[in-house]
Amino acid sequence: MRVPTDPHFYFLKSSIPFWRWHVISREHQINDEIRAREVRLVGAEGEQIGIKSIRDALQLAAEASMDLVNVAPTAKPPVCRIMDYGKFRYEQQKKEKEARKNQKIVDVKEVWFRANIEEHDYQVKFRNVVKFLSEGDKVKASVRFRGREITHASIGQKILERLSKEVAEICNVERAPKLEGRSMIMILAPKTNS
C-alpha cells in the first residue's frame, strides 16, 4: 500500500482490520496553497492595499514576516490578508472556547407518576418538577400504566393536567399530554425571562 506524502494526511488504525485515511481540513488557505493569479490584498493593520498578483502578495507577506491568508475564497478576486496565522487561530479557538463556556445546556429531566399515586408522593414529585424548572431544565412528566390501568387513561390525563395548572406560573406546556404506548407524556419548558 502506498502511503501519501502530503503532510495534511494522517492515518488511524480502527477496529476494522485495515488502515483508514482521514484528511485534516484547514479552514483557510495560507501562503503557497492559494491558487488564484491575483488577489485583493489587505495589510496587517487592516488597510486596503489593492489588487496584486499572488507573487507580489506573497513577497509582501514574507517581508513582513507573516503569512498570506485567504479569508474570502469565493470573492472575485479572492480577498487575502497579511497576518500571523498561528496567532489568528489561537485567538479564534479562545473565542470559541469562551462561547461554549457561556452556553447553557438544557437537559430534559423525567419525572414518573403512577395512575394510582398517593397525595404525598405526588407532592414530592411536584417539588422535583419545580426544582428542575427553576434550574432551567425541561421536564418530561409521564404517567406509566401497568396491566389494565391503561383502560383508565383519563386518570393519567387528570394527573398531568393538575401538574400543568400548578406549575403554570413558571413554565409553558411544550407538548400537551399524549398517550404513547403504555405511558402518557407531557413536556414542560421553563419560561424565559425576555
Asked, for residue 154, whether it belongs to a domain, the answer is yes
Q: Is the pLDDT of residue 30 over 60?
A: yes
Of 33, 54, 88, the residue at which a domain comes to its end is 88
pLDDT at residue 5, rounded to an integer: 54
State whether 112 and 183 are in the same domain.
yes
Residue 79's domain spans which residues? 9-88
Report the percent of the chain where pLDDT is more than 70. 85
State whether 114 and 84 are in the same domain.
no
> Quick one: pLDDT band at residue 24, thresholds 50, 70, 90?
very low
Is the torsion defined by CA of 50, 55, 60, 65 positive or negative? positive
Least confident range of 19-23, 24-28, 41-45, 102-106? 19-23
pLDDT at residue 4, rounded to an integer: 52
Q: Is the pLDDT of residue 1 over 70?
A: no
Domain count of the chain?
A: 2
Cell (9 digits) for 25 = 481540513
* pLDDT single digits (tens) 113-171: 888 888 898 899 999 999 988 888 888 989 888 888 888 888 888 888 888 888 888 88
Q: Which of 140, 114, 130 is nearest to 168 (CA)?
A: 130
pLDDT at residue 193, rounded to an integer: 60
Contacts of 106 (CB under 8 A, 6+ apart): 136, 137, 138
pLDDT at residue 11, rounded to an integer: 47
Give the CATH number of the domain where residue 27 resides.
Answer: 3.10.20.80
